[in-house]
Structure 1
Amino acid sequence: MRRASNLRFEISKTGNLLGTRIPLVSLRQTLAVAQYLSFRQAAIALGISQSSVSERIKMLEADLGIMLFERNTRGVRLTEAGRRFVTEVERAMRILDRAVKTAGMHARGEQGLLRVGVYALIAGGFLDTLLEHFHARHEHVALEITESTALDAQLQVRDDQLDIAFMGRSHDIPDLNSRVIWRDRLMAVMPASHALAAREHIEWKDLARETFIVREAGTGPQVHDLIVVRSAGQWPVPTIRRFDIGRSALLSMIAKGHGLSLLVEENVATAPPGVAFRPIVDEPESIAFMAVWSPRNHNPALQNLLGLARALGRASPPS
């Protein structure tokens, strides 16, 4: 509390917040004397001279116009006015200390709210691990998680509805800050009974006549666009059916033979029985996942999450 020692309270002789200016250090020394009932012991505890403590208490009593302590040869004891004064000062000091601590925690990003947009949360996946580590390190920061498409997430970041969003993209967004955090391998997902599941790997041309099912939310729109781009100039665009469902429902539909889809490799660990994942060998590159945030956002918890994301991203082996 050294940096707070120059604060001063406005206190009048009647106890109102008016008039005489009382240094905070005088109040702390008063509490020390009240605790030890000894100017000498209070001075030792505070690491200052006894004469300094005695002089400050006398000045405080003069400013207040009341006697806080009765002094005699046997020691010191609080007057009734002093006891009431010390009780209120102790309460005020607890409030002040809590205010200083809370402000410091907010400034360091150790307390507050962080609104995070995700394309999905996969148990054991990168995002799940990142948020778990962040919560363990910053337990007083509340995480508010929203799942949405990349386009919706960008709009929410711009409108200050999200502090940060994670999405599968690899190009810059002009008015937002962005950084690729990790990459993952693209996989074709199919029923385990499908003929392609008997192969160790497949090519894009093998998927030309298949029916794809994709989600309306999450990375669904990006999966749709990728299928269209990879088909362009090569073969007719496959049939693509879009459903407003979650990831688990999508995998269940695939297992029951409703179609194929595309997911990254981190989904393999939580896939239900009856689903097969196969790498696409002629996919030119792994899928980049990036963090996106507003340059106007100065939430310190955001910087803490970004720092942790970079550290975990570097620790993850490239796909």
Structure 2
Amino acid sequence: MELRHLRYFVVLSEELHFGRAAARLHMAQPPLSQRIRDLERELGVELFHRGRGGVRLTEAGALLLEHTRPVLDGVDRAREAMRRILPGTAGTLRAGIPPDTAPEVLRTIAARFAAQAPDVLLELHEVSTDEQIAQLREGTLDVGIVRHPSDTVGLESGPVLSRRLGVVLPAEHRLAGSELVRLRDLHGVPLVVFRREMAPRLYDHILAICRDNGFLPGAIRHARNPNFTHGLVLAGMGVHFNEEHPLPAGLTWRPLDEDRLRWSSSVVWVPTRANDVIAGFAAAAEEALRAAGHSLSIVD
């Protein structure tokens, strides 16, 4: 049983309307409905009566609400207590960062944010796009850097900055000497990519572009850690799309012929929690991405 599902349950119990509850939680209605059904299946009871007359708590739902509110209140008090003992008179900022963020981007974010908000402790968490969005909505993250396309309904976003992707190949690959690699020339080659659940819309977007260009991977292998990704490519078990950055010996990066293959990123946060500290982080992240070669982009 996840705390965020209990929070969703409490908000729906207070609103007794899926649309209003979803808006209050800064999420779309279908995912909220699914999470409530997941909770009901886990507990083996029906928590709400759903009918033309609206939504109302069942007896089981009323009992769960009685037990859940003290639990969530206790969690909130514990979090606040931990925030108060952290270094920095103004507390802490919890920020989500994509797992494959370049080291120089992290360094610049940390340096710029420290200069702008020296009394705030910056906690950087390695979190995928969809995990960030869920944690922002449940309040366990304050701000995040997400990849697009993604489901950011109800969240505020800074400017979208992007950088073209190329292909990471073994140095001895037949295309390693090409000035520009055509996607169709990779047809049948395995592709190493992040797991779909990390960023479903981006995952589907990448594979659709490959298909449009005549590149159907012979296999899809999943990796989250850059070292594991590079190891798979070195072993000849696939190629990998990424922006240009320093690589281990034995690997090379070549540009691709498809402008739509990009890392497009923006800082996101819950509008009702916006403050000067989040604005300072957004400015630091934008500066860091621009310094790493990212520029303004338009998300379809």
Q: Same fold (TM over 0.5)?
A: yes
Distance (whole Å) between structure 1 residues aligned to residue 248 and residue 123 of structure 2: 28
1:297 matched to 2:273:
yes
For residue 306 of structure 1, report the CA deviation from its aligned partner: 1.7
Q: Partner of 2:141: helix, strand, or coil?
A: coil
C-alpha distance in 1 between matches for 2:290 and 2:207: 32
Q: Give the corresponding residue for 1:123.
A: 103
Give the Å deviation of 1:150. 1.1
In the other structure, the counterpart of 1:258 is 237
Secondary structure in structure 2 of the residue aligned to 1:184: strand
Counterpart in the other structure of 1:309: 285
- Which structure would you say has the larger RCO, counting Cα contacts within 8 Å and 6 or more residues apart? 2
Residues 314 and 254 of structure 1: CA distance in aligned 2, closer, same or farther (over 3 Å): closer
Query: Equivalents in 1 of 2:172, 2:198: separation in Å?
Result: 25
- The verdict on how the C-alpha distance between 1:226 and 1:174 changes in structure 2, with shifts beyond 3 A counting, is closer
- The answer to whether residue 282 in structure 2 is matched with residue 277 in structure 1 is no
Q: What TM-score do you get using the length of structure 1 for normalisation? A: 0.57
Trace 1:148-163 onto structure 2 (pairs within 5 A). 148-163=127-142
User: What amino acid is aligned across from residue 182 of structure 2 in structure 1?
Assistant: E
1:194 aligns with 2:170: no
Instruction: List runs of 5+ in structure 1 lacking aligned partners.
Output: 1-102
Q: 2:249 is aligned with what amino acid?
A: P
Give the aligned partner of residue 140 of structure 1: 119
1:31-180, aligned counterparts within 5 Å? 111-120=90-99, 121-124=101-104, 126-170=105-149, 173-180=152-159
Percent sequence identity over aligned pairs: 25
Q: Deviations over 1:38-67 (max 9, x none)?
A: xxxxxxxxxxxxxxxxxxxxxxxxxxxxxx
Work out whether residues 147 and 218 of structure 1, in 8 Å CA contact, stay in contact via their aligned partners in 2: no
C-alpha deviation, 1:280, in angstroms: 0.6
In 1, Cα distance between the equivalents of 2:179 and 2:197? 28
Greater gyration radius: 1
Q: In the superposition, relative to structure 1, how do residues 158 and 118 fare at CA in structure 2: closer, same or farther (>3 Å)?
A: same
Indicate which of 151, 161, 178 corresponds to 1:182. 161
Measure how far apart 1:281 and its partner are. 2.1
Q: Which residue of 2 aligns with 1:96?
A: none
| Worse overlay, 283-292 or 204-213 | 283-292
- Residue ranges of structure 2 left out of the alignment (5+ in a row): 1-83, 296-300
Given residue 274 of structure 1, which amino acid in structure 2 is its aligned partner? G
Give the C-alpha shift of residue 170 in structure 1.
Answer: 4.8
Q: How far does residue 180 in structure 1 lie from its aligned partner after superposition? A: 2.9
CA RMSD for the aligned pairs?
A: 3.1
Change in CA separation of 1:131 and 1:272 when aligned onto 2, cut-off 3 Å: same
Q: Using structure 2 for the length normalisation, give the TM-score.
A: 0.60
Query: How many pairs align?
Result: 209
1:309 is displaced (CA, Å) by 3.2
